[in-house]
Amino acid sequence: MIMKLLVPVVALIALVVSSVQAFLPDGGNGNTHVTITRHAVMAKIHEVCEAVAESEGRQFSPEGSSPEEVLRACLGTATGEVSGAKFSTALNQIYMQNGFVDRDFMSSAPHHFNNEAFTEGRNLIIQGTIAIKANVRTDNLQSARETLGRVCHTLQDFYSHSNWVELGNKSPYANLIRPDLNIENIAGVAMPTCSDCASGTCPNQLLPAILKGKFLTSGYMGLTNLTNLEVRGDIHTVGKCSHGGETDLSSKQNPRGGISKDEPLSYNADLHNKAVNLASEATLELLEDIHGAIGNKDYLRLMGIARSAVLAFVIDTTGSMSNDIAEAKRVAFNIIDSKKGTQDEPSEYILVPFNDPDFGPLIRTTNPDVMKSEISKLTAVGGGDIPEMCLSGLQLALTGAPSSSQIYVFTDAPPKDTYLNKTIIALIRSTTSTVTSLMTTFSRRRRSLNARPEFQVYYDMALASGGQAIEVPKSSISQATKIIVDTSTSALVTILQRSRDPGRVESFSFLLDRSVSNTIIYITGSSLTFNLRSPTGASQSNTVANGPLGTIQKVGNLQRIQLNETEMGLWFIDMTTSQSYTIKVIGQSAITFIYNFVEEFKGPHPGYAVIDGRLLAGSPAKLLLTLTGEKGPEALEVHEVALVEVSGVKVSNETVEKMAGGDFLVTVKDVPEGEFVVLLKGKDKTFSSLFQRQTTTMMSQSKVTVKAKADDSMLPGEEFRLNFTVKTNGPSGAYTICARNDKKISMTHPPTLSLVSGGSAQGTVSLTPPADTVSGTDVTLTIEAEGPGGSDSNYAVLRLSVLSKVTDLTPPKCEIVDVQGTCNSSSCSSSNWELSVNITDRNGTGIERISIQQGSGNLTQKKVEDGVMGLYEASCCSTSVTLSAVDKVGNVGRCSYTMKSSAGSCLMSLPLWASLLLYGFLRESFTL
Ligand SMILES: *[C@@H]1O[C@H](CO)[C@@H](O)[C@H](O)[C@H]1NC(C)=O
Ligand SMILES: *[C@@H]1O[C@H](CO)[C@@H](O)[C@H](O)[C@H]1NC(C)=O
Ligand SMILES: *[C@@H]1O[C@H](CO)[C@@H](O)[C@H](O)[C@H]1NC(C)=O
Ligand SMILES: *[C@@H]1O[C@H](CO)[C@@H](O)[C@H](O)[C@H]1NC(C)=O
Ligand SMILES: *[C@@H]1O[C@H](CO)[C@@H](O)[C@H](O)[C@H]1NC(C)=O
Ligand SMILES: *[C@@H]1O[C@H](CO)[C@@H](O)[C@H](O)[C@H]1NC(C)=O
């Protein structure tokens, strides 16, 4: 078992031999921070999946090494289609933030351990790790992943930028991740550390006194053309090592050269490889620390290993809604009960009630029984079908749900809070979640769609997110909720989505491949006429409810066509109507892709960073694509990627470049001016089957950009100031600024910024989270800027965490006090062994949780005066155990033990003193 775990790490050592950059196109040397992180993350996932499988009495044996195969094996035997999309999205959230550090904190020495900023660099790691643990505790997994990405970057840079490797160290520096220990023996400020290197390529520039005294130092980085003395800040720091490389201007001045091990060059390849290996091991140790603090289940969720389906309801609870609430409850219960034990069982439930003037709170749970009880508690009170706080409720759902969730809104009234419409669209784009609204009407007052302009905002949200706006009489709502069952599946893919207003006679084609099942077509609009044609030429018109191709159900403005069978090949829908309509074709398949619009950045470590607003008009669009399929991305080919106007006809073609790690970089020169989606065509090589997929979230361009970076957490009760920059290529004038957060925290910001065309201006948002905010709470902040006369606008979306100051830095202590039993390897199932531990957290915040991290035995705990006594009992078929004890702020103490099993049948039990000796040895190698 342990050997298996080691495999990916060993593979990594052979693989990672290149420069430490954020993202490099595949040119033979695509090894980066991301590859180091990816290998450590996957190795740790293997180990935790194995431990979980063992505890559930099953095997963890992925068919291959692709993320999809690992995911399927880790989730176990539940039936149904598994999609790797959510898993890849979660991992990308970690990797992308890792790359950001090179852009957003380019000249910050602590983020890179430059300029001997050891104490500050270590603080970033310690504080970041505390934030990750607090975020997981409050279930804010995306924030936790983003912080993890940044912390990994800084941790990894230590090995490349310091002289830890040159000092001959063979293992990572544990003190970097131990809050209770400090960095020791840093070279003094006036202590010269390097000799001059005229060639700039010297294998070892460190002064003998530094090596002999084991002093820790790091390279100084000069990004601007200052003299050596100015760069180093102080006359006494003459003689400090340079970072080195083209962008380090200080490396041209005495002492010339540099000690960075970012890239393998002829003179430092050995040091570079050692640095990469230590960075990988250190990353694994950090992951292990987090794993210990949060336990197996949450660790896997943090890594995106969970069933994909999430059920998110935003429900109007005013007086006229009792039917609708009853239906929402029926559907939720139906999904929970009918999908239990399958891949389609939701992994998370979200419920947000709204009313007038109240909305919320957001209820988020992984427990279906809690969802059932919460939804049962909803009652319709007050009001009538008057405007309510729908968008406020939806804002909570969008920020609280995992990205790419399906969110369903139940209402019978227009929103009162339409001022949030831009914020909602920004959140939809940033989360790529899909919003479907079920708007019910009393039949007696039913009017045509166009007669209810106050409902337009629901249509706008549906269009922007790729969802539906469904208007149905209250009496037929149960037919409309089929859409919720259809789309609550783990492997939902969109094959086609288009919108026309006004409608026109047009034929839409879509390709169904062999991996697609349960194909459903939705057409919304009123008085529509259309004809469906299959690849073999059979056809069915909208007037035939049960035809050769499928079953058509009509309810309100929605027509749902369920195909009898998913015949492979090119299908057609011929629309013959001038009414406005939308068409959407969905199915279930493991083949899909995830994407991010990115921009290139320069600097010492150039790369690509995700754009979180609309794209900048006038520049080419760049996209990073990750493909996922049953057998991993290697089994898939990309043929064509296009940006397609959902409401128009414009399609633009692009160049596709393969990147390290199986991702693709797509560059589009000629971006459509309207709102567009991404269409991808490719081939499943295993079956030579062509496929087509499209994204659902609409994107567009803007001449305005809003940029802000989250580099710190907020303290409860203290003012937090965040700078943002607005730039424009549009008209000069006053740009209206609007900032909103999802936690009702009061904020101040300038109402407008004055900009000239081609220029930029800076503003500050200040917010003060209440003093009683729970540590780990995450606040989603949107900052919008709108040009003069509402001409053009853009936004930035940031996740900020509120974190209390942590003073308990000492992990609980776990001591093994007794071992009992004898194990015989030839008949393991007939014997048992047990281990007693004594766990204390003196002067700390107290023990919160003790759990079995690895091992399939049982743990019983007893509270005693100054701690907890634990008794672990296991079968001799499971001879090793790791217990972890976590205190209230996430410090982790561990005990590990391996029971020796004797080969013969008549060996004595290992005496306790010998076990303890063995334990002492094991502990050496297990404790961080
Ligand atoms: C820095 O200064 C050197 C020498 O004075 C000059 O050659 C070089 O062009 C300068 N570089 C930049 C980026 O200004
Ligand atoms: C969105 O909000 C703006 C500003 O409050 C308003 O002018 C506009 O009409 C709203 N749009 C919709 C569709 O409600
Ligand atoms: C498709 O299903 C409908 C309704 O079940 C049925 O009437 C029709 O014969 C089916 N067609 C085929 C080709 O199976
Ligand atoms: C885009 O590229 C594909 C493949 O190179 C080609 O088949 C297609 O015709 C192109 N489309 C446009 C609109 O140029
Ligand atoms: C924000 O901007 C102000 C004014 O330009 C500056 O003094 C301050 O240091 C900035 N704060 C941060 C965190 O960058
Ligand atoms: C458990 O450990 C604590 C602290 O080391 C010690 O005071 C206590 O006596 C121990 N209890 C037992 C039962 O060993």
Which band of pLDDT confidence, cut at 50, 70 and 90, is reported for residue 226?
low
What is the reported pLDDT for 843?
81
- Residue 722 is encoded by which pair of tokens? 């965040």
Which residues, in sequence order, are bridge partners of residue 701? Answer: 615
User: Terminal CA-to-CA distance of the chain, rounded, Å?
Assistant: 20
Q: In angstroms, what CA-CA distances link 547 with 277, 518, 576? A: 63, 17, 19
Q: What is the pLDDT of residue 911?
A: 42
pLDDT at position 922 over 70: no
Confidence of residue 14 (pLDDT cuts 50, 70, 90): very low
DSSP H stretches of helix in 476-568:
477-480, 482-487
CATH code given to domain 492-589: 2.60.120.380
Partnered with residue 220 across adjacent β-strands are 242
Partners of 610 in the β-ladder: 598
Q: What CATH architecture applies to the domain 613-701? A: Sandwich (2.60)
Q: Give the pair of three-digit tokens for residue 61.
A: 């044996």
Containing 312, the helix (H) or strand (E) segment is strand 310-316
Ligand 6: does its nearest atom lie under 6 Å from the Cβ of 865? no
Ligand 5 centroid from CA 750, angstroms: 15
The per-residue DSSP string of 149-194 comes to HHHHHHHHHHHHHBSTTTTT--S--GGGS-TTS----BPPTT---B
Map tokens 């294998």 to a residue: 203
What distance in Å separates the CA atoms of residue 222 and residue 250, rounded to the nearest whole number? 5
What's the gap in Å between 610 CA and the centre of ligand 4? Answer: 26
Q: Note the helical H segments in 405-476.
A: 421-431, 456-465
Instruction: Give the closest residue (by CA) to ligand 5 atom 7.
Output: 723
Of 80-89, 231-240, 801-810, the range with the lowest mean pLDDT is 231-240
The per-residue pLDDT for 83 is 84
State how far the alpha carbon of 106 is from the alpha carbons of 145, 241, 604, 831, in Å.
21, 19, 8, 59
- Identify residue 865 by its one-letter amino acid code: E
pLDDT for position 646: 83
Q: For residue 739, which phi and psi values (nearest 5 degrees)?
A: -120, 135
pLDDT band at 448 (very low <50, low <70, confident <90, very high): very low
Supply the mean pLDDT for the chain. 86
CA distance 854 to 847: 19
Q: What is residue 709's predicted lDDT score, i.e. its pLDDT? A: 86
Instruction: Determine the Cα–Cα distance for residues 250 and 241; give it in Å rounded to an integer.
Output: 10
866 lines ligand 6 (CB under 6 A): yes
Nearest CA, atom 1, ligand 4 = 653
| Distance from the alpha carbon of residue 422 to the mean position of ligand 2, in angstroms | 8
Residue 807 confidence (pLDDT) above 90: no
* 601 Cα to the center of ligand 1, angstroms: 22
Is the shortest distance between the CB of 225 and ligand 1 below 6 Å? yes
Q: How far apart, in whole angstroms, are the C-alpha atoms of residue 918 and residue 812?
A: 21
The arrangement of secondary structure in 309-489, i.e. its CATH architecture, is 3-Layer(aba) Sandwich (3.40)
Classify burial at 913, counting beta carbons within 10 Å of its beta carbon; exposed 0-12, middle 13-18, buried 19 or more: exposed
- pLDDT value of residue 903: 58
Pick the CATH number of 813-927 from 1.10.3470, 2.60.40, 2.30.30, 1.20.1070: 2.60.40
The residue-averaged pLDDT of 903-913 equals: 42
Residue 873 contacts residue 857 (beta carbons within 8 Å): yes
Band (pLDDT 50/70/90 cuts) for residue 888 is confident
Phi, psi at 286, each rounded to 5°? -65, -45
Instruction: List the Cα angle 275/281/284 in 5-degree steps.
Output: 140
Give the ligand at the shortest distance from the Cα of 453.
2
Q: How far apart are the C-alpha atoms of 166 and 346, rounded to whole Å?
A: 51
Ligand 1 atom at minimal distance to the Cα of residue 225: 1
d(CA 477, CA 487): 16
Which distant-in-sequence residues (6+ apart) come within 8 Å of 206 by Cβ? Answer: 163, 166, 193, 194, 195, 217, 241, 259
The pLDDT tens digits for 269-281 are 899 889 999 999 9
Centre of ligand 4 to C-alpha 640, Å, is: 7
Q: What is the mean pLDDT of residues 447-458?
A: 69
pLDDT band at 230 (very low <50, low <70, confident <90, very high): low
User: Please, which residues bridge with residue 177 across strands?
Assistant: none
- Which ligand is nearest to the Cα of residue 789, counting in written order? 2
Chain-centroid distance of CA 256 in Å reads 42
Sign of CA dihedral 292, 294, 295, 297: negative
Higher-pLDDT residue of 671, 826? 671
Q: Which ligand is nearest to the CA of 226?
A: 1
pLDDT at 295 over 70: yes
Q: Quote the pLDDT of residue 3.
A: 30
Protein residues with CB under 6 Å of any ligand 3 atom? 546, 548, 551, 564
Cβ(616)–Cβ(657) under 8 Å? Answer: no
Q: Which residues contact 718 (CB under 8 A, 6 or more apart)?
A: 768, 769
Give the residue range(s) of CATH 3.40.50.410 domains in the chain: 309-489
For 346, the token pair is 């939701």
pLDDT of 560 above 90? yes
What ranges in 232-321 are assigned the alpha helix state H? 269-302
Determine the distance separating the centroid of ligand 5 and the alpha carbon of 361, expressed in angstroms: 34
Contacts of the segment 402-405: beta carbons below 8 A, 24+ positions apart: 402/86, 402/141, 402/142, 402/310, 402/348, 403/89, 403/142, 403/431, 403/432, 403/433, 404/85, 404/86, 404/89, 404/431, 404/432, 404/433, 404/434, 404/594, 405/310, 405/312, 405/350, 405/431, 405/433, 405/434
Nearest ligand atom owner, CA of 563 = 3
Q: Comparing C-alpha atoms, which of 808, 869, 818 is closest to residue 842?
A: 808
Atom of ligand 5 at shortest range from CA of 722: 13
Q: Where in the chain is the domain with CATH 2.60.120.380?
A: 492-589
Element (H, E) at 348: strand 348-354
Q: How far is the CA of 542 from the centre of ligand 3 (A)?
A: 15
DSSP 752-793: EEEE-TT-EEEEEEEE---TTPPTT-EEEEEEEEE-GGG--E
Calculate mean pLDDT across residues 168-173.
96
Please check whether residue 697 is in contact with residue 720, taking contact to mean a CB–CB distance below 8 angstroms: no
Q: For residues 550 and 346, give the distance between their C-alpha atoms in angstroms, rounded to a whole number.
A: 28
The helix or strand, by DSSP H or E, that contains position 520, with its residue range, turns out to be strand 517-524
Q: What is the pLDDT of residues 676-710, one digit of tens each?
A: 999 999 999 999 999 999 999 999 999 999 999 87
Atom of ligand 4 lying closest to residue 639 CA? 4
pLDDT value for 71: 92
What pLDDT does 9 receive? 28
- Number of helices and strands (H, E) in the chain? 18, 43
Res 530 pLDDT > 60 = yes
**Spacing, Cα 522 to ligand 6 middle (Å):** 66
Residues 6+ apart with CB under 8 A from 566: 512, 516, 517, 518, 519, 587
Between β-strands 363-365 and 348-354, what pairing exists: parallel, antiparallel or unpaired? antiparallel
Cα–Cα distance for residue pair 201/30, rounded to 1 Å: 23
Phi and psi torsions of 259, nearest 5°: -110, 10
pLDDT digits (tens, 9 = 90+) for 99-144: 778 888 888 899 999 999 999 999 999 999 999 999 999 999 999 9
pLDDT higher than threshold 50 for residue 16: no
- For 877-886, the pLDDT digits (tens) are 888 999 999 9
Give the C-alpha distances (Å, rounded to integers) separating 146 from 613, 639, 740: 17, 32, 21
Residue 36 token pair: 């180091």
| Nearest protein CA to atom 14 of ligand 5, as residue | 723
Closest CA to 488 of 331, 596, 305: 331
**In whole angstroms, how far apart are CA 445 and each of 327, 528, 903?**
21, 22, 82
Cα(247) to ligand 1 centroid in Å equals 11
Phi, psi of 486 (to 5 degrees): -60, -40
State residue 928's pLDDT score. 23
Nearest to 23 by CA among 76, 81, 96: 96
* Per-residue pLDDT at 236: 39
CA distance 146 to 157: 17
Residue 398 DSSP class: H
pLDDT digits (tens, 9 = 90+) for 336-395: 999 888 888 999 999 999 988 889 899 999 999 999 999 999 998 876 667 789 999 999
Length of the chain: 928
CA 389 to chain CA mean position, Å: 29
Tokens 């539906």 belong to 468
What is the topology classification, in CATH, of domain 703-802? Immunoglobulin-like (2.60.40)
* Joined tokens for residue 717: 């009760």
Per-residue CA distances from 672 to 653, 694, 701, 899 (Å): 10, 16, 8, 65
Task: Label the pairing between strands 434-441 and 469-473.
Answer: parallel
Percentage of residues in the chain having pLDDT higher than 70: 90
The segment(s) of the chain belonging to CATH 2.60.40.10 are 613-701, 703-802
CA 551–ligand 3 middle distance (angstroms): 7
Name which residue sits closest to atom 12 of ligand 5, judged by CA: 723
Tokens representing residue 926 in the block: 């297990």
Give, using CA atoms, the residue closest to atom 5 of ligand 2: 419
Q: Does 490 or 729 have the greater pLDDT score?
A: 729
Please work out whether the CB of residue 655 comes within 6 Å of at least one atom of ligand 4: no
Q: What are phi and psi of 475, to 5 degrees?
A: -70, -20
d(CA 866, CA 797): 46
In this predicted structure, what is the pLDDT of residue 654?
A: 78
pLDDT, one tens digit per residue, over 596-627 is: 999 888 877 777 888 889 999 988 999 999 99
Integer Cα distance of 305 and 299 in angstroms: 9
